[in-house]
Amino acid sequence: MLEILNWIGDQAPQLVAYELAALTTILAATIYLASILVRVVLNRVREQNRLLDAATNNMVQGLCMFDADNRLLVWNQRYVEMYSIDPKRIWRGCSLKDLLEARVATGTFPLDIDAYQADMAKKLNRGERFTITVQLPDGRVIAGVNQPMAGGGWVATHEDITERTRAERELKQAEAFLDAVIHHVPTPIVVKSVSDFRYRLINRAAEKFFGSNDRMVGKSAAEVFAPELAERIMMRDLEVLEAGHEVLFGEHLVPTTAGDNRVVSELRLPVPGADGAPQYIISVLDDVTQRKRDAARITYMAHHDSMTDLPNRIAFNECLESTLKIAAGNGESFAVLCMDVDRFKAINDTFGPVTGDELLRQMADRLADASQGAFIARTGGDEFAAVTPTGPQPDGAEALAERLRDTLVADFEIEGHRISASITIGVAIFPLDAADTTGLLANAEAALYRAKLESRGSIRFFKPDMDKQLREKRALQHDLRQALANDELELYYQPQSTMDGTIIGFEALVRWHHPRQGMVPPSTFIPLAEESGLIIPLGEWILRTACREAASWPKPLSIAVNLSPVQFQHGELVNVVHAALLETGLSPQRLELEITEGVLIGDFSRAMSILRRLKNMGVHIAMDDFGTGYSSLSYLQSFPLDKIKIDQVFIANLLNNPQSAAIVRAVIGLGRGLQLPVVAEGVETEEQRAFLARASCDGVQGYLIGRPQPIAFYAELVGRPSDKKRRLSIAS
C-alpha cells in the first residue's frame, strides 16, 4: 500500500499534466464544435432572413412593421416602390413621422401627418384595426391596413386597389345604368324568384299597375292580389317553368290599383341561375288598352260618316252583302232603298255649307229614328241608303220608305231659318229585281233616277224598263274598249311635295276624252273598267305611259301609279311592271305603286305574294285612301309599306270637324311610330297645310300644290324648259 502511494506520489506531476492536456483537448473540441454549431445556426438564420426578405419583397402589398415606439423595424421593396421613397430616407429605426415625411416629399401622402398619427394612435391603443384609403396624384388608389400586434407595435400592409376600385365603380355605374333603364322603360316589368315565387323587382311602369315597391317586393301573388287572380298568376308561372322557355299570354284584363282594368298581353320567360335551373321569372306586360281604343275608334270612324255619325258606304256594303247571304240561304226577301235629298244644292247655295251640313245631320237623326230596325247609311254628299230586314216584300220596303219620307215633312229649324226638305227614294227587291249586290244597287239607283225625273219626293220601285241606265253603262264600256285603240286616253299629272313645298314627285291620273261626251270623269269609267275587266289592259297602258314619261324627265322625281284590286286578281302584274321598267329604263326606286285595302281583301295570300315580289324589284308600295277601310292597321303589320296616304275626305273636314282632325293626327302619329312617310291628299288651303305641318305630316298633294294637268304644264318642275322658253330658244 505504501509502495503504491509512493508510486502515485512519484507519478503525480505526470498525471496532472495528462489531465490538463486532456481537458485542454476537450475544451478545444468543445469550442470547435460550438463554432461549427454557431455557423450552422447563423447560416440558418441568414437563410431564413433571405427567405423572409424574398417573401416580403415579392409581396403584392407594401409591408411595414413598427415597434411600440413607432420605430420602423421591417419594410419591403414593394412599399418603397409603391410610394417612390428615396432609399436614403428609410432606415431601420426611423420614426413613423420620418417615413411619412419621406412620402410627403414624393407627393404620395396627401394627409396631415400629425392628425393622421394622432388618429392612428387612438385606434391602435384600443387594439383596433385601422384602415385608410387614399388616392395618389397619379390616379392610383392605395388601401392601407394597420394591424396592432400583441405586446406592442403594429404591422401595416399597403395594397394598390386601383383596378379593383375602377371595376367596382364601373360595376356600380352599370348597376345604376341598368336600374335607371329598367325603371324608365315605359313597359311594365315584373321579376319574381322561382324558389319562393315572391316578387323581387317591379319597375315604375309596373308600379302604375300594381302599386309601390313596398306593396309588391318580397311578397307573393297571394299576398297582393285577390285569390282568383293570384291562382291564375301562379298557374302561368308554373306553365312557364314547365315549358322552359318564354311563353306569350294573349290579351287579357289586369286590374290596377287605380280601380280600372287594363287590356294587356304578357310575355313571361324563365331566367336560369349559375346551375342552369330557373332562378327568376320575368314578366313583360304590353298595355294595349289605348291601342285597342284607338283602333276601335279608327275602325268606328272608318265605318261611320264623320258628319252625321251614320254608317258610311263601307259599312252599308258590308251590311248589304251579309243580308243577301242570309236571305239567299233562308229563301227570304229584303229590299234596298237609295235616297237622295231633293234640291240640296240650292239649299246649300242659299244658306251656306254650314247650314247645309247641319241640315244633313238633322235629317240623319230623323231617318235613323224612323228606320225601326232597318240599316240606314249616308253613302254620299246628300245620298242615303237603307237595307230592310228580311221579310215579306214589297210591303216591308213600302212601309219603310213611307216612314222615311214622312219623317222629313216637318220643317227644320237651323240658326233661325225654317228649311223645308224632302227625299226621293228608289227601291229594289231581292231576289225579284236582282240576285246580287251589284244588281240590287244598280236597280235601286235606276229606280231613284226615274223617281227624280218624274216627281221629286216620290217613291219608285224598280221596273224592267228602268234598265236604260244599264244599257247606257254597257255602251260606255264598249266605248272605253275602243278608247285605248283610238288614243282617247291621256295621263294627267298631279304634283306631290314636302311640307316646305319642294316637289318630290307626281301621281299619274288617267283622263278620257270621249269623242261625243267630252271628258268622262274617272269616277265613271274606272268602275266600268273594273267590272268589265278592261282595267287589265288599261292599267298596263297607264303604267307603261307613266314610266316612259318619268324616265324622260331631267330631274329624277318619283312617279306614282294607282293599281286596281282587279289587277291583282287577273293577269301577270309583276311581269307587267318588270317589263315596263325594262322597256322604259325607269329606275325601280322612282316608281311608286299605290294600292287600297281592296287589293288585300279576298285572296290575301296571293296579294301579299305579288306585293313582296314587287318590293323585291325595288318598287315602292304606298297605301292609298288610308283611314277609310277597316283593315288598314292589320295590313300595316302584315306588309312593310313605304308610304301611307290620308284620304282627302278627312282633309276636307279637317278644320271644322274634330273627328277628322283626330283621325289625321292619329294616322300621322301611327306613321311616325312605324317610320312611314305620311302624305295628305286633297290639300286645298294654306290653313290645311299649316295644320298638317303642326301635326308633323311628311308631304301633301292637292289643288294647293297643283291640279292634275298634262305634263307640259309642269315642264319646269321636271327639269324641262317651259313652252315659252322653248319658243324663245327656237326663235333665237
Task: Summarize pLDDT for 307-349 with one digit per residue, the tens.
Answer: 899 999 999 999 999 999 999 999 999 999 999 999 887 787 6
Q: What is the pLDDT of residue 204?
A: 82
Query: Any idea what DSSP says for residue 253?
Result: E
CA-wise closest residue to 664 among 410, 278, 298, 226 = 298
CA-wise closest residue to 493 among 590, 561, 541 = 561
Q: What is the pLDDT of residue 37?
A: 67
Query: Any idea what DSSP says for residue 599?
Result: G
Band of residue 34 on the pLDDT scale cut at 50, 70, 90: low
| 119 CB-near residues (< 8 Å, 6+ apart) | 130
CA-wise closest residue to 237 among 282, 205, 206, 273 = 282
CA distances from 409 to 334, 363, 366, 421, 423 (A): 26, 11, 10, 7, 10
* Helix (H) or strand (E) run with residue 122 in it: helix 113-125
| 10 CB-near residues (< 8 Å, 6+ apart) | none
Q: Are residues 567 and 716 in the same domain?
A: yes
Res 354 pLDDT > 70: yes
Residue 328 C-alpha cell reads as 239567299
CA-wise closest residue to 433 among 519, 511, 539, 338 = 338
Residue 201 lies in a domain: yes
Cα 23 from Cα 548, distance rounded (Å) = 135
CA distances from 162 to 18, 168, 350 (A): 77, 10, 88
Q: Are residues 642 and 518 in the same domain?
A: yes
Residue 479 lies in a domain: no
Residue 422 exposed, middle or buried by CB count within 10 Å (0-12, 13-18, 19+): middle
> CB neighbours (10 Å) of residue 94?
17
Band of residue 557 on the pLDDT scale cut at 50, 70, 90: very high
Q: What is the mean pLDDT of the chain?
A: 85
Q: Are residues 200 and 129 in the same domain?
A: no
Q: What is the pLDDT of residue 321?
A: 94
Query: Any idea what DSSP says for residue 642?
Result: S
3-class SS of residue 191: strand
Cα 269 from Cα 274, distance rounded (Å) = 17
3-class SS of residue 466: helix
Residue 78 lies in a domain: yes
Higher pLDDT, 390 or 274: 390
Share of the chain above pLDDT 70, in %: 88
CA-wise closest residue to 664 among 654, 672, 673, 656 = 654
Q: Domain ends where: 119, 137, 162?
A: 162
Task: Summarize pLDDT for 139-197 with one digit per residue, the tens.
Answer: 899 999 999 988 788 899 999 888 888 888 888 887 777 777 777 777 888 888 888 98
Higher pLDDT, 226 or 626: 226
CA distances from 429 to 108, 316, 334, 713 (A): 104, 16, 6, 50
Res 732 pLDDT > 50: no
Strand order in the sheet with 199-202: 199-202, 189-193, 278-287, 261-272, 247-255
Of the listed ranges 274-283, 371-380, 468-477, the least confidently predicted one is 468-477
Q: What is the pLDDT of residue 378?
A: 93
Res 448 pLDDT > 80: yes
Res 516 pLDDT > 90: no
∠ CA 281-282-286 to the nearest 5 degrees?
140
Q: Are residues 46 and 69 in the same domain?
A: no
Summarize the confidence of residues 220-236 as an average pLDDT: 86
Taking the C-alpha atoms of 699, 700, 705 and 709 in order, what is their torsion angle to the nearest 10 degrees? 110
Q: Are residues 48 and 67 in the same domain?
A: no
Counting every residue written for the chain, the total comes to 732
Cα 404 from Cα 713, distance rounded (Å) = 49
Band of residue 728 on the pLDDT scale cut at 50, 70, 90: very low
Residue 362 lies in a domain: yes
Of the listed ranges 46-60, 539-553, 631-645, the least confidently predicted one is 46-60
| Torsion sign (Cα): 517, 523, 524, 527 | positive
Q: What is the pLDDT of residue 156?
A: 92
Q: How many domains does the chain have?
A: 5
Q: Are residues 681 and 706 in the same domain?
A: yes
Band of residue 640 on the pLDDT scale cut at 50, 70, 90: confident
CATH of the domain at 74: 3.30.450.20
Summarize the confidence of residues 576-605 as an average pLDDT: 87
CA distances from 692 to 304, 585, 636, 683 (A): 23, 35, 21, 9
Q: Are residues 502 and 418 in the same domain?
A: no
Q: What is the pLDDT of residue 571?
A: 63
Of the listed ranges 38-42, 230-234, 279-283, the least confidently predicted one is 38-42
**Which phi and psi angles does 572 have, rounded to 5°?**
-105, 80
Res 91 pLDDT > 80: yes
Residue 656 lies in a domain: yes
Higher pLDDT, 533 or 561: 561
Cα 664 from Cα 691, distance rounded (Å) = 10
CATH of the domain at 618: 3.20.20.450
Q: What is the pLDDT of residue 456?
A: 85
Cα 280 from Cα 237, distance rounded (Å) = 10
Residue 471 C-alpha cell reads as 244599257
State the residue for C-alpha cell 285605248: 484
CA-wise closest residue to 269 among 201, 208, 210, 189 = 189
Residue 346 lies in a domain: yes
State the residue for C-alpha cell 301611327: 670
| 338 CB-near residues (< 8 Å, 6+ apart) | 379, 383, 385, 425, 426, 427, 441, 444, 445, 447, 448
Q: Which domain holds residue 104?
A: 62-162
The 3-class secondary structure across 672-731, one letter per residue, is HHCCCCEEECCCCCHHHHHHHHHCCCCEEECCCCCCCECHHHHCCCCCCCCHHHHHHHHH
Residue 731 lies in a domain: no
Tell me the chain's radius of gyration from C-alpha atoms: 49
Higher pLDDT, 464 or 64: 64
Q: Are residues 152 and 66 in the same domain?
A: yes
Residue 385 C-alpha cell reads as 241608303
Cα 72 from Cα 239, distance rounded (Å) = 68
CA-wise closest residue to 699 among 558, 419, 503, 406 = 503
**Which phi and psi angles does 252 have, rounded to 5°?**
-155, 165
Cα 316 from Cα 447, distance rounded (Å) = 19
Cα 427 from Cα 682, distance rounded (Å) = 34
Q: Domain ends where: 256, 287, 318?
A: 287
Res 369 pLDDT > 70: yes
Res 629 pLDDT > 60: no
Amino acid present at 508? A
Amino acid present at 77? Q
Q: Are residues 83 and 11 in the same domain?
A: no
Band of residue 259 on the pLDDT scale cut at 50, 70, 90: confident
Q: Are residues 25 and 72 in the same domain?
A: no
Summarize the confidence of residues 663-669 as an average pLDDT: 90
Band of residue 257 on the pLDDT scale cut at 50, 70, 90: confident
CA distances from 122 to 65, 115, 581 (A): 18, 11, 92
Q: Are residues 33 and 151 in the same domain?
A: no
Q: Domain ends where: 287, 320, 340?
A: 287
Res 708 pLDDT > 70: yes
Residue 204 C-alpha cell reads as 315604375
Residue 221 C-alpha cell reads as 301573388
430, 466 Cβ separation under 8 angstroms: no
| 731 CB-near residues (< 8 Å, 6+ apart) | none
Long-range contacts of 231-234 (CB under 8 A, 24+ apart): 234/197
Higher pLDDT, 642 or 473: 642
Band of residue 696 on the pLDDT scale cut at 50, 70, 90: very high
State the residue for C-alpha cell 391602435: 124
- Please tell me the number of Cα atoms within 13 Å of 171 on its side-chain side: 6
CA 389 vs. chain centroid, Å, equals 44
Query: Any idea what DSSP says for residue 138?
Result: T
CA 708 vs. chain centroid, Å, equals 36
Of the listed ranges 41-55, 145-159, 235-249, 418-432, the least confidently predicted one is 41-55
> CB neighbours (10 Å) of residue 144?
17
Residue 515 lies in a domain: yes
Band of residue 243 on the pLDDT scale cut at 50, 70, 90: confident
Q: What is the pLDDT of residue 726?
A: 45
Q: Are residues 359 and 443 in the same domain?
A: yes
∠ CA 570-312-509 to the nearest 5 degrees?
45
